[in-house]
Amino acid sequence: QLVIGAGLFWNQQAGQHTVPQGSLLSMSAARVDRLVVKDNEGREVTLRKSDAAWQLENLFALPADLNKVDPLLSKLENLKQDWPVTTTEESHDRFEVSDEVFQRHLRAFEGDQAVADIYLGTSPGFRSVHVRRSGDDAVYAVSLNTFDLPVEPSDWLDQSLLSMKDISWIEGPDYRLQKEDESWQLSAKDVSHADNRAANPDAADQLSKALRNLRVTAVHEHLPDAKEVAKIPLTVGSGETLWQYEFIQSGDQFFVRRNDLAQLFAMSSATYEKISKANLDA
């Protein structure tokens, strides 16, 4: 009886010291179709999945950067729970994971069902953060970062949404640039004065590269007021697809718009210079 009792006592003690294993969240990254992220100051961003793409619900349904969304979902799916840092409700404010005091509140949905509802707070170390599941007093330290969860919609924006790949021709205010085999041919825009000639290869490649790598930095609904405004129209073709661009300098700010979108996008001065001052003559 003493042996049996000792065995039972040992098993109970061993069970009490077993590190809890398993996922912190019961979710499948592939099935999540909506993310809502907010901070303690009321700023909030909602991302919604449409087919295979993610859109920013509170930024004109513009595309989100998959290189930010997909890694985040993968991290969430693979979060592991270890020993909790604390299990007392009184400690939630100190770790900034309470319902009222938090750094981030993240909810992930499959349809209308929330499959993740967590509060992120203080950081115990490099690339780690304290996390608490909604309705649970336990606080865990996990490999995640609040910087992965910005609350400004523009921080999620796919900055390459206006870029164009496989460019076959570019038409500017007074020229047409056509790619033939691996070289660029330059002609006047007015076909009645066609004078096809080889374009400056470096300048043509630089212009094409600037359009392929075009990145925007912010979204605007209207052009800011300025005394001096310069506009450069470009039509860019790839096979049967063509887009009409307008590159704008307004004072010391630079913008671009495309005919399929109503919004105006801020861009870098360096890219604007490459597009506006391309010296295409060989």
- 237 beta partners: 169, 242
At 174, list the tokens. 């007074």
pLDDT in tens, 134-146: 999 999 999 999 9
pLDDT score recorded for residue 20: 52
CA distances from 3 to 6, 12, 14, 15, 141 (A): 5, 14, 16, 18, 40
CB 281 within 8 A of CB 213: no
pLDDT score recorded for residue 282: 57
Output the CA torsion 106→67→46→222 (10° steps).
140
Q: How many beta carbons lie within 10 A of that of residue 131, not counting itself?
A: 24
Q: Give every residue of the chain whose pLDDT is below 50, as ranges.
A: 2-19
12: part of which helix (H) or strand (E)? helix 2-16
| Burial of 208 (C-beta count, 10 Å sphere; 0-12/13-18/19+) | buried
CB 159 within 8 A of CB 217: yes
pLDDT in tens, 49-61: 999 899 999 999 9
For the chain, the structural domain boundaries read 22-156, 169-276
Question: pTM score, two decimals?
Answer: 0.85
pLDDT score recorded for residue 12: 42
At 89, list the tokens. 């409700």
- Pairwise CA distance, residues 185 & 203, whole Å: 12
pLDDT score recorded for residue 194: 56
- Pairwise CA distance, residues 93 & 16, whole Å: 27
- 48 beta partners: 34, 55
| Nearest to 45, CA basis, from 68, 76, 75, 24 | 68
| Nearest to 202, CA basis, from 276, 274, 267 | 274
